[in-house]
Amino acid sequence: MDTLEVNGAILAYEVYGSGEPALLIHGALIADSLMPLVKEPILSEKFSLILYHRRGYGSSSRTKSSTSIAQQAADSKALLHHLGIPRAHMLGHSLGACIALQLTLEDTDIVHSLALLEPALIIGSSGPSYRDSLQQGWQRFRNENPEQLVDEFLQSRFGKGYRTALEQILPGAFDQAVADASTAFEQEIPALLAWSFGEGEASRIRQPVLAIYGSESIALWARFGETQRLMLDWFPNIQGFLLPGAAHGLQMQNPRGMAEALSDFWSRHPIQR
């Protein structure tokens, strides 16, 4: 991977394909969770897909202090500037979607469209219980086996038996998630708990938004369905998409379906008109 020094960190990144640029921002734990998308020709033959490991993950440098959502958004912006890209499609998965939203609020000109893959928003009636679960995960990490905690975290979001399928599509991803667990639990959870996003912020975002959630997600956790419903009510220019055969693993569990939805969305909202 290529590297970039930005804001006191080294970010590792790669660019796949050619065409209009799309920055892909991964969520917690699995640094290569968006890699399956670059292997789909329907995307790589039409778009320039920019993947990077966020600070504290994979090949990027570690950080000892909590990194705010705003700082993560600044990293994304710096990477685009480094690549000479003034405007791009933006995709974020889970916590990565929160980073994409923050970047859009701070610099609306750099974001042409938003694809939000089950963002980790603490909203609605399920918000308090989600906040509690995050706080408990943060506290438990200090005293429990990281491998067991990571397994529990992923199983609650991806479903039972997730690990076999994960290792097939991303060999070594679970072990890397365990290695990066301190970033997720000790740095990113506090940052997410301190971040705020609600209806007022959503109403300010005028870009086209594609909100994707998995057909199996709501059976695992009701907050996924509630978050999707609220987003469809709050954003001025949004469409929803239900990805079949997937839970929160989404692009890892149904990469072809995800790639087709993204290709259609980005093609209908081109940067060059």
The per-residue pLDDT for range 143-164, each reduced to its tens digit, is 889 999 999 999 999 999 999 9
Lowest mean pLDDT among 77-91, 108-122, 151-165, 227-241: 151-165
**Residue among 14, 1, 4 at smallest CA distance from 82:** 4
Residues 123, 245: Cα–Cα separation, whole Å: 25
The predicted model gives 174-183 an average pLDDT of: 95
The structural domains of the chain, ordered by start, are: 2-268 (3.40.50.1820)
pTM for this structure?
0.96
Q: State the DSSP string of 8-39.
A: TEEEEEEEES-SEEEEEE--SS-TTTTHHHHT
Q: State the DSSP string of 51-72.
A: EEEPTTSTTSPP-SS---HHHH
Q: How far is CA 37 from CA 104, 237, 248, in A?
A: 22, 25, 15
Residues 170, 166: Cα–Cα separation, whole Å: 6
The predicted model gives 265-273 an average pLDDT of: 91
> Are 149 and 181 contacting, i.e. CB atoms less than 8 angstroms apart?
yes
Residue 7 pLDDT greater than 90, yes or no: no
Residues 83, 85: Cα–Cα separation, whole Å: 6
Place of tokens 């918000």: 127
> Are 34 and 24 contacting, i.e. CB atoms less than 8 angstroms apart?
yes
Residue 9 pLDDT greater than 70, yes or no: yes
**pLDDT confidence bin for 273, thresholds 50/70/90:** low
The alpha carbon of residue 227 and the mean position of all alpha carbons in its chain are separated, in whole angstroms, by 15
Q: In the prediction, which pLDDT does 33 show?
A: 97
**Residue among 58, 13, 38, 53 at smallest CA distance from 252:** 38
Lowest mean pLDDT among 133-147, 188-202, 258-272: 133-147
**Residue among 116, 113, 110 at smallest CA distance from 241:** 116
Lowest mean pLDDT among 31-35, 135-139, 208-212, 260-264: 135-139
Residue 218's φ and ψ, nearest 5 degrees, are -65, -30
How much of the chain, in percent, has pLDDT values that exceed 90?
Answer: 92
Residue 245 pLDDT greater than 70, yes or no: yes
> Are 271 and 112 contacting, i.e. CB atoms less than 8 angstroms apart?
yes
Per residue in 62-72, pLDDT tens? 877 778 999 99
The predicted model gives 210-227 an average pLDDT of: 95
